[in-house]
Copies of this chain bind each other. A is one copy, B any other.
Amino acid sequence: MTPQSLTAYLHNEIPLAAAMKLSVATIDGGGISLRAPLDANINHHDTAFGGSIATLGILTGWSMLHIALLDEQIDARIVIQQSSVTYYRPITTDLEATCPRPDVPGWKLFLETLRRSKTARIPLRSEFYCIGKIAATHDGLYVATLAKD
Contacts and interface: CB of A to CB of B under 8 A. Distances in A.
A55 interface: yes
Nearest to A85: B83
A56 B77 CA distance: 24
How many of these chains are in the complex? 2
A5 interface: no
A140 B54 CA distance: 12
A92 interface: no
A82 B82 contact: no
A40 interface: yes
Nearest to A142: B50
A40 B26 CA distance: 27
Nearest to A18: B19
Interface stretch (A8-16, A68-76, A109-117, A124-132): A8-16
Given A16-B19, A16-B41, A45-B79, 11 more contacts: A14-B43, A16-B16, A16-B49, A16-B51, A16-B55, A45-B77, A50-B58, A79-B90, A82-B85, A83-B85, A84-B85
